[in-house]
Structure 1
Amino acid sequence: MRFVPFVALILLAGCTSHEAEPSPSPSPSVSEPPEAEGPVGNLAGAGKDADWDTFVLPCADKSKEPVIQQVVTADVTGDSIADALVARACESSTVEVFDGSSPAQRPWRIDQPLLSSPTAELRRPWVTGVEVQAGEIIIKANGHAIDDDSKTCRRDRLVFAFKLAGTDFTQLRLENNPAGKCLPAG
Structure 2
Amino acid sequence: MKSAAVVLVTLVLVTGCTGDGPAPDAPAPASASAGGEPAAEAEDPAGSLASVGENGDWDVFIEECENPEQEAMVQLVTLGDVTGDGTADALVARTCDASTSYFPSTIEVFDGASPAAGAERVGKPILTDVGPTDQPWVTGMTVKDQVVTVTAHGTGSDDSNSCPKLELTYRYRLQGTAFEQVDRAAVKSAACLDVS
TM bracket (short chain)? 0.7 to 0.9
1:106 aligns with 2:84: no
Does residue 174 of the first structure (1) align with residue 180 of the second (2)?
no
The partner residue of 1:96 within 95, 100, 108 is 108
Q: Which amino acid aligns with 1:96?
A: E
1:115–1:121 CA contact under 8 A, matched in 2: no
Deviation at 1:112, TM superposition (A): 0.9
Calculate the TM-score normalised by the size of structure 1: 0.75
Question: What amino acid sits opposite 1:104 in the alignment?
Answer: A
Instruction: Give the Cα–Cα distance (whole angstroms) in 2 for the partners of residues 106 and 180 of structure 1.
Output: 45
Give the match for residue 16 of structure 1. none
Q: Is the Cα contact below 8 Å between 2:104 and 2:131 reproduced in 1? A: no
1:141-160 equivalences under 5 Å are 141-145=152-156, 147-148=157-158, 150-160=160-170
- Partner deviation per Cα, 1:132-171 (whole Å, 9 max, x = no partner): 12211000000001x2263331100000100011111110
* Percent of aligned positions that are identical: 40
The number of residue pairs the alignment matches comes to 150
- More strand per residue: 1
User: 1:45 & 1:60 partners in 2: Cα distance?
Assistant: 30
Alignment partners' CA distance in 2, 1:178 and 1:47? 35
Structure 2 gaps of 5+ residues are 1-43, 97-102
State the SS of the aligned residue for 1:183. Answer: coil
Specify the code of the residue in structure 1 equivalent to 2:161: K
Structure 1: where are the runs of 5+ without partners?
1-37
Structure with the greater alpha carbon radius of gyration: 1
Secondary structure in 1 matching 2:131: helix
The Cα RMSD (Å) is 2.1
Structure 1 runs (4+) greater than 4 angstroms displaced = none
Alignment match, 2:5: none
Matching residue of 2:92: 86
What is the TM-score with the length of structure 2 in the denominator?
0.71
